[in-house]
Amino acid sequence: MGNKLRKALCGLLACGLLAGLAPVSAGAAVSTPFYDVATTSWYNDAVVYVYANKLMSGVDGNFFGPDVDASRGQIVTILYRLAGEPSVTQTNAFVDVPTTAYYSSAASWANKEGIVSGYGNGVFLPDGAITREQMAIIFYRFANYQKYDVTRTKDLSVYSDNWQISSYAKDAVGWAVTTGLMNGTDSTTFNPTGLASRAVLAATLMRYCSLDSIKVPAGTVVAAKPTVIEETSVPAVSAPVVPVSSTLVSTTTLDGSTIQTPKMTFQWPVQGTVSSGYGARYIFGSTSFHRGIDIPAPLGVGIHAGAAGTVTFAGEQGSYGNLVVIDHGNGFQSYYGHNSKLLVAKGDVVQKNQVIAACGSTGRSTGNHCHFEVHYKGQVVNPMTYLPAKNDAPANQVAAVVTEAAEAPEMTQEALILAAIY
């Protein structure tokens, strides 16, 4: 979208006209291309809204990542878009924000306007997650930047955990609750330290753009710009961040183009020989693209983490079956699909080689195997780029007694195509 059009869109957002056009009416037929957003989910309308209004896209083509934590890099990018992408002269405010990063201009802008500050010492932590309290602060500062009235507040003693709200965040949380931008997680809990997922961010964005209560009533005296506080009280991300080499390697993305990423080495997840490689293949008259590699292994044997990291997803995920996703920091994530049993949970910190699941054939699968994917900054990349030439997984050992294999799905042609993709 061109800058002009985006500005026009933001104009519409500002005067509220878009609220009537947005696909948020009950039973809206508008859908998204995301496999992981069920139309029955509580966040479906919000995802439809942010997708249709080009505020958020997926973590990659067909995945929105509703349960993935929203990152600081993502939120500044979205607000920068909403602000109409004003030109930025200062482009290198942070040591950990490369000028080539998609969020580079947004981070500089957000810093200059006091909307999102760094952690001191020039550190921005673009991949860092956002707590609910921080989200309130960011939207509060953005509303002030947009010259909306942010003076309204609320007595937060209704929340039994109000003592957990940082003193510098009280005005922001009070404003967010009063305007209806944010609610407690229940009537007596605000959960200020809980992390904001991408689904929560989408819902908050939809409310920010469509609630009249956010916008300044005519004649309201706009409060002075709030003092910017260095968010030093926020603990640094505790998850291990796997060091990556400054050496770059070439790899292939889903559309077949070549990109450069830092060099990074994963351990093989399971012992076995690759039965299906990464890349395009021609099946049933159409080209499909295998997002990872398949390594057949016996039912129930351990699947190992390829590198240290934090589990960001552990559950059933459509064609992947029982899926584990590990975030390794530095932009890298690994996916392990089709497991019979999951042995970790979301939020767990795992070490390299740790057994995270038991091999299986859940989801779109034609036999017991591990489907292994590597993502770099939200893009699917070729796992072979990051694996040693020789499979270095330990000898296969039963990790969980699986008495019964998941019933094989009846394979329609579509299912077979999907099985070939996954």
Question: Under the rule (CB under 5 A), what is the footprint of Zn ion?
Answer: 294, 371, 422
Q: Residues with Cβ < 8 Å from 396, sequence gap 6 or more? A: 270, 271, 272, 297, 298, 301, 302
What is the nearest approach in angstroms of Zn ion to the Cβ of residue 299? 16
Tokens 């830092």, residue? 262
The set of residues, in sequence order, having a beta carbon less than 8 Å from that of 334 and lying 6+ positions away, is: 266, 269, 305, 306, 307, 309, 325, 326, 328, 372, 373, 374, 375
DSSP assignment of 162-218 equals GGGS-GGGHHHHHHHHHHTS---SBTTB--TTSBPBHHHHHHHHHHHHH-GGGSPPT
Q: Which residues contact 60 (CB under 8 A, 6 or more apart)?
A: 254, 375, 378, 379, 380
* CA atoms of 171 and 162, how far apart (whole Å): 12
Report, in Å, the least distance between residue 421 CB and Zn ion.
Answer: 7
Pair 350, 326: CB distance under 8 Å: yes
CB of 294 to Zn ion, least distance (A): 4
Least gap, CB of 291 to Zn ion (angstroms) = 7
Q: Which is nearer to Zn ion, 84 or 296 (CB)?
A: 296
| Residue 385: partners with Cβ closer than 8 Å, 6 or more residues away | 249, 250, 251, 252, 261, 374
Handedness of CA 111, 117, 121, 127 (dihedral sign): negative
User: By C-beta, is 210 or 288 nearer to Zn ion?
Assistant: 288
CA neighbor of 227 nearest in space, from 108, 137, 98 = 137
Least separation in angstroms between residue 231's CB and Zn ion is 41
Nearer to Zn ion, 129 or 325 (CB): 325
Q: How far is the CB of 178 from Zn ion (least distance, A)?
A: 49
Residue nearest to Zn ion (CB): 371
Report the 3 state secondary structure along 304-323. ECCCCEEEEEEEECHHHCEE
Minimum CB–partner distance for residue 345 and Zn ion (Å): 23
Compare residues 239 and 293 and give the one whose CB is closer to Zn ion: 293
Q: For residue 151, which phi and psi values (nearest 5 degrees)?
A: -85, -20
d(CA 116, CA 77): 11
Nearer to Zn ion, 304 or 371 (CB): 371
Smallest distance from Zn ion to CB 278, Å:
9
Instruction: Please identify, using beta-carbon distances, which residue of 198 and 371 lies nearer to Zn ion.
Output: 371
Looking at the Cβ atoms of 197 and 276, the one nearer to Zn ion is: 276
Matching residue, tokens 């689904």 = 199
Q: Which is nearer to Zn ion, 226 or 367 (CB)?
A: 367
| Residue (328 or 371) nearer to Zn ion, CB | 371
Q: How far is it, in rounded angstroms, from Cα 273 to Cα 270?
A: 9
Tell me whether residue 46 or residue 370 sits nearer to Zn ion (CB atom). 370
Q: What minimum distance in Å lies between the beta carbon of 316 and Zn ion?
A: 16
**Least distance in angstroms from the C-beta of 422 to Zn ion:** 5
Helix 170-179 with 132-145: angle, nearest 10 deg: 80
Please report, as a single letter, which amino acid is at residue 404.
E
